Structure 1
Amino acid sequence: MKKTDLRYRAYVQILKEELVPAMGCTEPIALAYAAAVARKTLGVLPDKVEVAASGSIIKNVKSVIVPHTGHLKGIPAAAAAGIVAGDAEKKLEVISYVKEEQVEEIKQFLEQTPITVEHLESGITFDIEVTVHAGADSAKVRIANYHTNIVRIEKNGEILENIPVSGEEENNLTDRSLLDMEHIWEFINTVDVEDVKPILEPQLRMNMAIAEEGMTNDYGANIGKVIWKTQEHTTANHARAMAAAGSDARMNGCEMPVVINSGSGNQGITASVPVVIFARELGVSEEKMYRALALSNLTAIHQKTPIGRLSAFCGAISAGVGAGAGISYLKGGDYKVLIHTVVNALAIVSGIVCDGAKASCAAKIATAVEAGIMGYDMYMCGQEFHAGDGLVGAGVEANIQNVGRLAKDGMKETNQEIIKIMIGC
């Protein structure tokens, strides 16, 4: 693939758009970002806050610790952090730099300021509205469809910014329909690594750092440590343990950034850490490692495109399958090995649901990485799932579309039931 090709430029740009740093689980951080922009628009500290959020946002914010808040959880904590200590210019790193005294100010704000939370039923899966009041003045900010996509800003009823929301289309991003496995394979084999290394190096550095942190200290259910303590010390188990440990730390208050994939830190960890572990233990060149990382990330993004940002389908599955793709490349697999790895892995783990961000995400990540590796191992042993075996279709693209349809359309009602269970309805 030549640098002048449309897909070449698009694939580099897609990686730039999706692989960005974030501090904390991205749904509460998106909420904190909206709150920070609302407070900035208002111009003063508010005396009342109203949050309206879609069910999937409520689900993903409910149980995860918001960093730099003294281990607080939930929507009010995320909003308060953005209002009191947020830097609106930093977007998904909005609360990366919180002073020690501000942690106490966040707690005081929560105690003294009414913050209401409403279930927003707009028909948009990813939808946040934050309205702040100070006396007779007010400001409102809406984010829709993805984490930094501010579509409306108001102050005292005057519209300062208004971007029409047409369903769940991500109109401001590079066309994801250009992605397919055949062209992704061509891209990763021909790309000038210097074009992608500046995007991938921060992911490698940050995500490996938080994985090491999770293996070193006490976070959540310590799934990474459990794997490493109880299972054989193979490269595969090392990859599973480290990916899980990164999530252990991230979901349980670790104040270290990660580079995300498809809007998710857990997916960014899952798509990168196992690939780096295999690359290092196989002793491959740095160039081959970066090609494998590009393959893993683009495969994950391609799978997530038909699903959407949020769903009842666990996003770590797509990233685990991506990791399996990257590992197959590191082990010398060709295109045929790649696509059979993807198909096999998707057939194994296409039923894991997302019940919000929390400690158990780490265990799901370990399962997803295991499936990605098993998908490769199956094919290398002459075994595969065939079209007609459940969701398995004819060809890798059919499988990705089938799972996308299941996750986006088939699991809508499942998502609603999960949300009702989680909020006690």
Structure 2
Amino acid sequence: MTQYPPNFGCSEAKTPLRIAVVYSRVPVPMRRADQMTVAHLLEFLHERKHVVDLYTLETGAEMSPDDRAWVSARTRRLFLYPRRRVRAALALLSGVSRGLPLQVALFNSRTMRRDLKREILANQYDLVYVYYFRSAEVVRGLGRDLPSGSPGSSTATYIALQLSQTLNTRRISENAPNLAYRALYALESRLVARYETMIWREFTHSILIGKSDLATINEVAHDLGRPPVTNSFFSAHGTDIARFKPSLEPTIPHSIVFSGVMRTPTNVQAVQWFVREVFPLVREQIPDATFTIVGREPSTEVRALEAEPGVEVTGTVPDPAGYIARAEVCVNPMQAGGGMQNKLIEFLASGKPTVATSVANEGISAPDSAIAIADEPQAFAEQVVQLLSDTDQATQLGQAARKFVEDHWTWEAHFLDLERKLIERTLDPRDVGC
């Protein structure tokens, strides 16, 4: 059964905005972290009575009638563009010939850009909000294409870069399991570096999750002789603390859990590293320790890990929250990636003692009182063993983790902050009513 974002119970905004949301795939069903974020954003904007049009691609994960009804109820208009293989291949070839990153080329849509430009000229929007740089070409330079003084020429454009893809693709390349992957992501990393350090200039404002992502982009820009980002602000997102919460049901003794979409390269690399480098060290101390990898679409490499003693790969499950609730310890051994890790916030919100790498915690900045951080196999294993062995310490860490999420990582808190920044940066100060 499809899960949808919960009702936030928000009151109507004093200053409603007219917003075009541009996104690279349908937001429901929520199968990936970015889909989850956009779906929750649509729910929030709907409850706050903002007028929203959604421009998005149908890339294979088609919406069911219920999904379409949910989106339609939260938007004024849904502009949905089917993305078949031939059209995607042509877009990829066209983009590559222009030096675009592969992921940007793949999700570009000239038809979407044409329709969006038409609506901007009709003065339909206060702002255009592009989620992820994959959709940047749809909006890139639209302001220059509009006649000066024409209706819509003052429409603000926002690019939600979120994480630094330069940092993300570089780490994936460095930790790639084979030469082909390493070569592919090394190429993409170079293309992304050139693109990411200039695309922000095509928008009124750019949005990042945290300082490390901004610092990476600016370091690369310096190396390329380009100016640093000057139009950015920070805005993260949250988690559903009603769904991910401490449970009264008993945990499974000596159980360790990781969850995520298990065909995503960063997740594949994470569990491979844990199973090969860390888990054997844990089982030397706790022979009956188990490691459960929870998540849909496990790759062949992930499935192969079940051959190791104590490792289980579940594949798709109705709700990973139940597996997290029954775990004694959760782990996020990310070696690559950037921005914030939804899975890590879900572990913390569930009140679970959690061991993570510095990379995993980079965009969240959970304090030592709420999370155990380790980057080397021996240190990571020691932290896991300690939490599996010391109930009091594990309980204290889990309680502090839940408190940290309640204080800093609810959807409402981050979206209200984003809304305030959008209003302040889009409207004349005299028009701001909140």
Query: Over alpha carbons, which structure has the higher Rg?
Result: 2
Bigger relative contact order, structure 1 or 2 (CA pairs below 8 A, ≥6 apart): 1
> Counting strand residues as a fraction of each chain, which structure ranks higher?
2
Q: State whether TM-score is above 0.5.
A: no
TM-score relative to the length of structure 1: 0.29
